[in-house]
Amino acid sequence: MFNEHITFPIDTLAVNLAGSFLLAYLTTVVFTKWRIHPLYKTAIGTGFVGSFTTFSTLSVETMDLFQNHYYFLGILYIALSIFGGLWMSRLGFKVRKEVTEG
């Protein structure tokens, strides 16, 4: 991660955005169809999707950008991660609605 050739961490961003979609979709489709205890829902959602996405990598890569004076890219990365994640979650809920309601 800490290297001389700084690039925008698009790979981590893509995985985190996909994870936001997946978690929203899973929690509304799978968990509403099956009777699962709320504790297990949290464990499955956090365990499965949490192992797929990585907030710690987002943090380290952002600090890497800042330490190498790529402030705009660091702020852009944070903004895209937060707002993109929210948008992808919304999309996951919308797709679930289309799938279940036709």
Within a domain: 1: no
Q: Domain of 81?
A: 10-101
97, amino acid identity: K
Within a domain: 3: no
Within a domain: 61: yes
Within a domain: 23: yes
Structural domains of the chain, count: 1
Indicate the annotated binding residues: 50, 53
Within a domain: 19: yes
Phi and psi, residue 41, nearest 5°: -60, -45
Whole-prediction pTM: 0.81
For the ranges 2-6, 25-29, 92-96, the lowest mean pLDDT is seen at 2-6
Q: What is the mean pLDDT of residues 1-8?
A: 66
Indicate the annotated binding residues for Na(+): 50, 53
Within a domain: 5: no
